[in-house]
Amino acid sequence: MSELDHGDGVQLRVAVHRATRHDDDAFPGAKEAGGEGLQQRDLGAPAAPEPDLREGQHVVLVCGAGAAVVRGGRDHAALPLELGPEVGGLLRQRRGEQDGVGGGLPRDQHRAVQDGAVPLLHGSLLGRPCTGIAATRVPRRRARLPGTGLASTFAALRASRPGPKHRGANVRGSSVLQRVPTYEHRLANGLTVLIREDHSAPVVAIVTHVKAGYFNEPDRLVGISHVLEHMYFKGTEQRGPGQMARETKAAGGYLNAGTIYDHTSYYTVLPSSALELGLDVQSDALRNAQIDEEELRRELLVIIQEARRKLDDPGAVAIESLYELMFDVHRMRRWRIGTEEGLRRITRADVWEYYRNLYRPSNIVLAIAGDLDPARTLELVERYYGDMPAGEPVQEPAPEEPERTGLRFREMAGDILQSRIAWGWRTPGPLGADTPALDLLATVLGQGRASRLYRHVREEGWVSSITAANYTPQDIGVFAVSAEAEPDDVPGAVDAIWATVEGVRRHGVDEAELERAKSLLEARFLRRLETMEGQANLLAEWQALGDWRLAGTYLDRLLAVTGDELRRAACRWLAPERANVLVYRPASAPTLGWSAGDLAARLAAVEPITGPAVPPGPTQPTRPSATARPTFIREGVEDGVHFYRLGNGVRIAIKPRSASPLVSLGLFVRGGAIREEAARAGMTSLMARLSLKGTHRRTAEQLAVETETLGGVIVPTVTADLLSWSLTVPSHHFVRGLDLLLDVALHPVFPEHALERERKMALADLERVQDDMYRYPFRLFLEAAFEGHPYGFSLAATEAALRAVTADELREWHAREVLAGGPWLIAVGDVGDPDEAAAVITAELLGLPDARPAPLPERPSWPAAPRVRMESRSKAQTALVLAFPGPDRNDPALHAAEVLSNVLSGLGGRFFEELRSRRSLAYTVSAAPLVRSLGGAFVSYIATAPEREEEARAGLLEGFAQLREEPVTDEELRRAQRYTVGAWQIRGQTNAAQLGDLADALLLGRGVAELREFESAINAVTAESILELARRHFDPSRVVEGVVRGSTASA
């Protein structure tokens, strides 16, 4: 299931195939319309030869509370270190946007957010340095050592490491990093190496973090960091173009990259058995990139398409135009990916010089995390990176932005339906003493449903979505507030935003608000540690700024911020005379006509909002006593999943998993949107979003505050076949989280006053879909392919239904689809004893009526002739979805479709290599099955220049025709199978992912058996079965298209 964040309300996921579980963004835009969503991823290895440790080298080994320096020389001594609570330097926590090579990989693998979203970066200037580290530096000499014991030192540190905390204990702050050991090493050439040993999943992640990004580029070479990132995996003397991706994919992994203001990151995630291959590929690219001139020429055309794509993204246009408004000389002012004109001027000599000047070992952090043996890993690193020539980076100094005061304002217009409002204040960079307080301030103001901007601006109807973030790359920061609104509501929204900010500046925040913000940021930190890629990136980013150990220290400092400190930071940095405000409105909307002076006068007249306190909710539940526990029927254990049934037909599934101190919970029902009629289109999404607006026990504000104080967010999710509510919280909050989740899912009151507001927001979502060059062509395709069926109700039908629905109809729909729909309660994570957890769950579910699910509709029929839905817009690109009928969810041919998607998509895939790499038609091209229980499709997506639309369409059709004529090669098949299995293993690192997959299998499929048999089913796919699939489904006379056609003039 794909989970994308588009604001508040209903998270919409598309149920994709049961095997690889690709994100729906394998083809961007494969998301339903009608609601917006809130986002919620062997020690017994044989011993390896010990690496030589030369005199002058040292390895800092940190393992929980134990640490030592292993120093090269005759004594080869392990020197103990005392790590204080603060070890000095800089730490930041990042959830950043990067411009990556893309290519159809799932977004949860890209680790990127949609262009235009404000990246979150948390940093702080922290206290005293770690004692002992400086003393370990000794003069470098080339004398070799007798063989001595790195392995014994690793073993000693393991033995000294504290044991795991008691399951379910409330562990806060820096101690969360001590769960697994981390080791640090610096090669003789200056390369910093971090190794984190985590055996919770058979996965490893390798991150090459280069301290070179947009801030390192002179004005004449804007975008060159991103150009080099695209060329990085394009070939070496040893490997030709595309070979690195093919080798990685054949090993079951993926590689990708991303560029942002202060760094470029190259990452590989793959099964742990392929660690050496991953290091071989990464080191080869780092050391030996060829930057072939012809390859560069073609890739620049691809990047130009990426730049055009950003021009069609209202969020990207708004946020980068805001940066341009805010800065006069700083490099953040520039359109970071580069302009088409500037990109065409970049030469091979420019890229080569930039590569050789900045990709030096001393300017790089190599972070490796996962199921590995640290001694063996260090030996491999020495082998593949040790003789890389040393050298310091060479670069032009960047101009510093002078201090200035005076509010700035800009108004822009374009072919969009919703207005964008962006506020920005310059703030200190990650070294700023106020940064932790500003990070918390952003959360207090604009993250979560209990945030002030949500309550006072969004809930008052001024905007359809609003967020705040403090972004601090390298030497400078931006505190930004971003919102979407109807054009007529912009003046009121601007006033309400300032009234809310000024309320905090004048009156501060209460302790409950502060604790909520701390809990959310702490839980975000924990969720990042769930995956190997998250851990490796975390280590690399913080090490690049000083010292990875400061992760825990930063968290401690964040948790120690007081309300007074937060208010002082707000007063200092968010002053009206320091504000920058940008409005990006539809071209058809009337102009505001404001000057900066007009806006300043307007803000001066605004009365601040103080923010009323939220009354406490009901008494928190406790676990039932052993003598008063409700009864349930144990149905057994299968593949580690414990099953229970209640007398009313409600089912419970619990999968204990102690890999992280988190638990993911969900209430799932088969139904909802699949049973809607045209007159009820969108009703399920509206019902789900309105469930958050109050229950019989709690108001909407109480729900938001209580849930977010636990560090979680309740996510209603509507797919084509399922309806659910889910929540991930630290495991010590399991009981409280369950009570809140079920209160929302089972006991909503659907208040009349909230209905009108949510109706307005749901209608705004439909406009947002039409501004999205991913989702809108996909929606047009659905309307054409599944016309008249719930899978394909039109935007017009949905709009009419949303305008007409009443609160009573929503209550009736909830009673039918949810209460009597035969729900499942599923829990995955650190739940402790399954029977005890089941008793807690049962107590909450006994009052439900007997399950009486309504019948499902008939299967849809695919059009018998070609069909196209097209709309022309003033856009820089044309976006095309081209699709054929495909297997439904339980068709055995689905496995062949899943493997085929990995033959065609991603780095090394047929469509990627032919249409992107060779023909330079597009930045984004992909293909994957769209899976529904009653009928499926096989969908391709491409976004290209308007004048090349026919060439792009022909290229896709030629690719599908070739699949009908001849089987895929044995090499393609093996590579795709290994990648499909590897991606499955990688995806399963998080509780939330396993929760979604388990629910999908239990409610729509064959149960846990299909999860158990996944690997064998994928490996049983043959070239002949793919050929049969293509001949059965890819008939050109039955092709269906959804097209948003751009204007050639705008290109």
Summarised one tens digit per residue, pLDDT across range 798-826 is 999 999 999 999 999 999 999 999 999 99
Residue 384 has pLDDT above 90, yes or no: yes
For residues 887 and 84, the model is more confident at 887
pLDDT at 630: 61
The residue-averaged pLDDT of 726-746 equals 96
Instruction: Tell me the three state secondary structure of residue 243.
Output: helix
Tell me the C-alpha distance between 197 and 64, whole Å: 11
Output the pLDDT for position 621: 63
Distance between CA atoms of residues 316 and 662, nearest Å: 33
pLDDT digits (tens, 9 = 90+) for 765-787: 999 999 999 999 999 999 999 99
Strands 408-414 and 580-586: parallel
Give the whole-number percent of the chain exceeding pLDDT 90. Answer: 76
DSSP letter at 25 equals G
Higher-pLDDT residue of 8, 413:
413
Q: Give the model's pLDDT for residue 302.
A: 92
pLDDT at 926 over 90: yes
* Position with higher pLDDT, 988 vs 44: 988
Q: What pLDDT was estimated at residue 33?
A: 28
What is the pLDDT confidence band of residue 791, given thresholds at 50, 70 and 90? very high
What pLDDT is stored for residue 102 in this prediction? 41
pLDDT at residue 632, as a whole number = 86
Does position 2 have pLDDT exceeding 70, yes or no?
Answer: no
What CATH code is assigned to 57-65+79-132+153-613? Answer: 3.30.830.10
Q: Which architecture, in CATH terms, is 633-845? A: 2-Layer Sandwich (3.30)
Q: What pLDDT is recorded for position 823?
A: 96
4 vs 341, residue with greater confidence: 341
d(CA 548, CA 179): 15
Listed range (5-19, 328-342, 665-679, 769-783) with the worst mean pLDDT: 5-19
Check pLDDT > 60 for residue 883: yes
pLDDT exceeds cutoff 50 at 54 = no
- DSSP assignment letter at 386: T
The pLDDT of residue 67 is above 50: no
Residue 109, pLDDT > 80, answer no
202's enclosing H/E stretch is none
Residue 479's pLDDT is what? 98
pLDDT of residue 622: 53
Task: Supply the DSSP string of 624-678, one letter for each residue.
Answer: PPTTSPPP-EEEEEETTEEEEE-TTS-EEEEEE--SSSEEEEEEEEE-SGGG--G
State residue 619's pLDDT score: 64
Please give the average per-residue pLDDT across 610-632, as a whole number.
Answer: 62
Model confidence at 644: pLDDT above 50? yes
- For residue 671, give both structure tokens: 């139904």
d(C-alpha 741, C-alpha 846), whole Å: 15
pLDDT at 378 over 80: yes
Q: What whole-number distance in Å separates Cα of residue 788 and Cα of residue 697?
A: 40
- Spatial distance between the Cα atoms of 606 and 570, rounded to a whole number of angstroms: 17
Is the pLDDT at 85 greater than 50, yes or no? no
Backbone angles phi, psi at 344, to 5 degrees: -65, -20
Tokens representing 791 are: 């899978």
Q: Per residue in 256-265, pLDDT tens?
A: 999 999 999 9
Q: Which pLDDT does position 172 carry in this prediction?
A: 61
For tokens 């997959």, the residue is 997
Residue 289 structure tokens: 């990139």
pLDDT surpassing 50 at residue 387: yes
pLDDT at 795 over 50: yes
Mean pLDDT for the stretch of residues 181-193: 96
Lowest mean pLDDT among 60-69, 532-541, 1021-1030: 60-69
pLDDT tens column, 913-923 = 999 989 999 98
Identify the three-state secondary structure at position 16. Answer: coil
Q: Is the predicted pLDDT of residue 40 greater than 80, yes or no? A: no
Residue 140 has pLDDT above 50, yes or no: no
Please determine, for residue 90, whether its predicted confidence score (pLDDT) is greater than 50: no
pLDDT at residue 141 tops 60: no
Q: Is residue 146 predicted with pLDDT exceeding 80? A: no
- State both tokens at 207: 């991150």
- Higher confidence at residue 158 or residue 1009? 1009
pLDDT recorded at residue 98: 46
Percent of the chain scoring above 70 in pLDDT: 81
**What are the backbone dihedrals phi and psi of residue 1036, each rounded to the nearest 5 degrees, phi first?**
-60, -20
Weakest mean pLDDT among 182-191, 620-629, 865-874, 987-996: 620-629
Mean pLDDT of the chain: 84
Least confident residue range of 75-84, 295-304, 775-784 = 75-84
Q: What span, in angstroms and rounded, lies between the C-alpha atoms of 316 and 299? A: 22
Given a cut of 80, whether residue 253 has pLDDT beyond it is: yes
Q: What share of the chain is helix, strand, coil (3-state, %, to 5)?
A: 45, 20, 40
Q: What is the pLDDT of residue 691?
A: 98
pLDDT higher at 92 or 524: 524
For position 846, what pLDDT does the model report?
85
Predicted confidence (pLDDT) per residue in 199-236, tens digit: 999 999 999 999 999 999 999 999 999 999 999 999 99
Q: Where are the alpha helices (DSSP H) in 289-326?
A: 293-311, 314-326
What tens digit of pLDDT does each residue of 697-707 get? 999 999 999 99
Q: How far is CA 827 from CA 38, 663, 831, in A?
A: 20, 7, 8
Asked if residues 223 and 331 have their Cβ atoms less than 8 Å apart, the reply is: no
- The correct CATH number of 867-1050 out of 3.40.50.150, 1.20.1560.10, 3.30.830.10, 3.40.190.10 is 3.30.830.10
- Is residue 183 scored above 50 in pLDDT? yes
Give me the mean pLDDT over the 626-643 stretch: 82
Tell me if domain 633-845 and domain 867-1050 are identical in fold: yes
- Whether 361 has a pLDDT exceeding 60, the answer reads yes
Residue 391 has pLDDT above 60, yes or no: yes
pLDDT band for position 552 (cuts 50, 70, 90): confident
d(CA 641, CA 256) in angstroms, rounded, equals 34
Output phi, psi for 38, to 5 deg.
-110, 125
| pTM (2 d.p.) | 0.79
Question: How far apart are alpha carbons 715 and 221 in whole angstroms?
Answer: 43
Q: Report whether pLDDT(118) > 50.
A: no
| Token pair listed for 326 | 């805010």
Residue 136: pLDDT band (50, 70, 90) is: very low
pLDDT at 50 over 60: no
Cβ(223)–Cβ(234) below 8 Å: no
* Average confidence (pLDDT) over 400-426: 95
The CA distance from 347 to 108, in Å, is 33
Give the C-alpha separation, 556 to 554, whole Å.
5
In the chain, domain spans: 57-65+79-132+153-613, 633-845, 867-1050
Query: What does the pLDDT look like over 479-498, one tens digit per residue?
Result: 999 999 999 999 999 999 99
